[in-house]
């Protein structure tokens, strides 16, 4: 009878890289570009929250939609003419909803990877030394909070539908307007990114044992899985599309872009 030795306890630390890097390629390029891309989004987001040019008939800036404040949302900008936040609120309407799409992106599995690498350098790339002595992953506070991502997903679905509604409304009222089609492209990308979410894939059929007994969920899962394979490019494309669409609407609202089919 052969004897087995008890297994060594599982090590809970990452492999240590003793030299600065084992890489010979330009490993820093991706984290650096990621840092620039995400920083530009943050800087733009701060400016968009301060800026008040959120609406020009029939376009509403995506960063301010749904527009819920009675005092700071022009009548045409309010969703179904509904502004539940009373006159007491006089700050930017975008500030009211920022936590929903912002929280969704902040806790996204892909964005987590990208900002852990490019901002926190933990580690900046494979086989590169990291500046932190300790690694506890996402098992403890505060990073365990990232698990709320699945709940932000539901909020993101609502925001995606609102943006799609805004875009369709713009096309109906101004079919030849460039802004209408910019909003449509943005709504498509935002909703594709939302549906490509890993939580969405899990929700559609993550715990099923028999796909054959749930053909509709299986079809939904198949569709979401295809999008899910493109989650990273969709994250970037939708991030730039929402910035671009928002910036375009604000430029039209300010009169800076004023050609006939704007
Ligand atoms: Fe990226 Fe859900 S995993 S949005």
The answer to whether the CB of 261 falls within 8 A of the CB of 177 is yes
CA atoms within 13 A on the CB side of 120: 14
- Rounded to an integer, the average pLDDT of 212-241 is 97
Q: State how beta strands 59-60 and 55-56 pair.
A: antiparallel
Between CA 124 and CA 126, with CA 125 as vertex, the angle to 5 degrees is 140
8-state DSSP, 69? B
Q: Which residues contact 155 (CB under 8 A, 6 or more apart)?
A: 100, 101, 103, 104
C-alpha span between 107 and 61 (Å, rounded): 24
Distance (Å) from CA 109 to ligand 1 centroid: 5
Collapsing DSSP states into helix, strand and coil, what is residue 28?
coil
pLDDT of residue 56: 97
Span 50-97, pLDDT tens digits = 999 999 999 999 999 999 999 999 989 999 899 999 999 999 999 999
Are 50 and 152 spatial neighbours (Cβ–Cβ below 8 Å)? Answer: no
- As a whole number of angstroms, the distance between CA 19 and CA 130 comes to 10
Kindly list the protein residues whose Cβ atom lies closer than 6 A to any atom of ligand 1: 108-110, 149, 153, 197-199, 231
Ligand 1, residues 106, 149, 206, 242: which to mutate, most atoms within 8 A of Cβ?
149
Extract the tokens encoding 213. Answer: 């007994």
Contact status, residue 103 vs residue 148, Cβ threshold 8 Å: yes
Asked if 72 contacts 91 with a C-beta cutoff of 8 angstroms, the reply is yes
- How many C-beta atoms surround the C-beta of residue 219 within 10 A? 13
Write out pLDDT tens, residues 36-55.
999 999 999 999 999 999 99
Ligand 1 closest atom vs CA 108: 1
pLDDT band at 12 (very low <50, low <70, confident <90, very high): low
Asked if residue 217 lies in contact with residue 208, where contact means CB atoms within 8 angstroms, the answer is yes
Residue with CA at minimum distance from ligand 1 atom 2:
197
> pLDDT, tens digit, for every residue of 243-262?
999 999 999 999 999 988 89
Task: Please tell me the distance between residue 233's alpha carbon and the centre of ligand 1 in angstroms.
Answer: 12
Predicted TM-score (pTM) of this structure: 0.91
Q: What does the block give as tokens for 190?
A: 């935002």
Compute the distance from residue 232 Cα to the ligand 1 centre, in Å. Answer: 9
CA distance 97 to 65: 8
Which residue lies with its CA nearest to atom 1 of ligand 1?
Answer: 108
**Mean per-residue pLDDT for 98-126?**
96
Q: Which of 191, 192, 194, 225 is nearest to 208 (CA)?
A: 225
Find out whether the peptide bond into 248 is cis, omega within 30 degrees of 0: no
In the reported structure, the alpha carbon of residue 16 is separated from the centroid of ligand 1 by a whole-number distance in angstroms of: 29
Q: What is the pLDDT of residue 20?
A: 87
Distance 196 CA to ligand 1 centre (A): 7
Residue with tokens 């900008």: 77
Map residue 8 onto helix, strand or coil: coil
Structure confidence by residue, pLDDT tens digits, 133-150: 888 889 899 999 999 999
Residue 227: the pLDDT is 98
Q: By the 8 A CB rule, do 84 and 67 touch? A: no
* 117 touches 35 (CB < 8 A): no
């Amino acid at each position: 009878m052969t004897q087995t030795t008890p297994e060594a306890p599982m090590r809970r630390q990452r492999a240590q890289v003793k030299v600065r890097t084992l890489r010979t390629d330009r490993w820093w390029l991706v984290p650096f570009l990621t840092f620039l891309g995400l920083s530009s989004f943050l800087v733009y987001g701060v400016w968009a929250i301060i800026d008040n040019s959120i609406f020009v008939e029939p376009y509403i800036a995506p960063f301010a939609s749904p527009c819920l404040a009675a005092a700071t949302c022009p009548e045409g900008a309010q969703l179904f003419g509904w502004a539940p936040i009373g006159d007491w609120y006089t700050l930017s309407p975008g500030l009211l909803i920022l936590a929903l799409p912002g929280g969704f992106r902040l806790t996204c599995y892909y964005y987590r990877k990208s900002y852990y690498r490019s901002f926190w350098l933990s580690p900046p790339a494979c086989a590169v030394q990291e500046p932190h002595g300790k690694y506890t992953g996402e098992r403890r506070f505060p990073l365990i909070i990232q698990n709320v991502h699945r709940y932000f997903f539901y909020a993101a679905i609502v925001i995606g539908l609102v943006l799609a509604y805004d875009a369709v409304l713009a096309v109906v009222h101004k079919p030849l307007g460039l802004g209408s089609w910019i909003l449509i492209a943005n709504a498509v990308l935002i909703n594709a990114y939302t549906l490509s979410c890993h939580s969405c894939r899990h929700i559609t059929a993550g715990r099923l044992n028999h796909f054959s007994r749930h053909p509709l969920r299986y079809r939904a899962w198949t569709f979401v899985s295809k999008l899910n394979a493109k989650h990273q490019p969709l994250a970037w494309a939708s991030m730039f599309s929402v910035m671009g669409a928002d910036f375009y609407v604000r430029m039209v609202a300010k009169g800076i872009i004023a050609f006939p089919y704007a």
